Chain A
Amino acid sequence: MAKENVQMDDGAAGKRVFFRRRRGCPLEGTPDTEINYKNLKLIARFISEGGRILPSRITSVSAKRQRQVKKQIKIARNLALLPFVAK
């Protein structure tokens, strides 16, 4: 499948922030308490330049962690700690 080669041409500016890692989940081993809406340093790694949540096929996050991160990003957005849309 051409999936891996075409991966980076996804169009919208800002989706290319991170290289696609071939290795495992970057959040492997972080305790659940660290995936927290308050922990902006960690959470902000998973949003794009435009403020959009990055898909796990780009960040290689495991599915479970992706769900946790997604939830915390959404909470942080509501608290104006992260933007919904950024220029």
Chain B
Amino acid sequence: MPLYESTFIARQDISTQEVENLTKQFSQIVEDNGGKVLKKEYWGLRNLAYPIRKNRKGHYVMLALDTPPAVLKEMERNLKIHDDILRNVSIRVEEIQDGPSFMMNNRGDYQESRYSAANSNDEE
């Protein structure tokens, strides 16, 4: 079955516990329909590079999946409807990296202060 990486951003106002619940909920959709969740990563509450629906920060969650495409589509459909999810992107990958992805080590940070929506009001 094809491998996917699906990342979604949840609103900044909800708590980490609720993000956990959301993650479980969507993982459940995948697993109930014959897919497998290979990896679950929570990147934390990050600054967004631009405001999305007036939010300047968001909870990032990444799931690595091994599912048939129809199941992925179903999960995406649910992600789209859900009010607490701001954005989601799923891409197909050739292989899933072992271990924590770049975001969990430092590679995922670069010049956050430059490119974050939360800081943009301070300039000029």
Contacts and interface: CB of A to CB of B under 8 A. Distances in A.
B123 interface: yes
Interface residues of B, number: 30
Contacts of A41: 102, 106-110
B35 interface: no
B110 A38 contact: no
A interface bracket (residues with beta carbon within 8 Å of B): 20 to 34
A38 B109 CA distance: 9
Output the residue of A41, A77, A78 with the most chain B CB within 10 A: A41
A6 to B, nearest CB: 29
Contacts of B91: 75
A86 interface: yes
B96 to A, nearest CB: 10
Nearest to B55: A80
Contact of A82 (B46, B49, B60, B123): B49
Interface in A67-87: 75, 77-87
Contact of A38 (B49, B101, B115): B101
B50 A44 contact: no
A77 B60 CA distance: 14
B102 A44 contact: no
Interface of B: 7, 9, 46, 48-50, 52, 58, 60, 62, 87, 89, 91, 95, 97, 101-103, 106-111, 114-115, 117, 120, 123-124
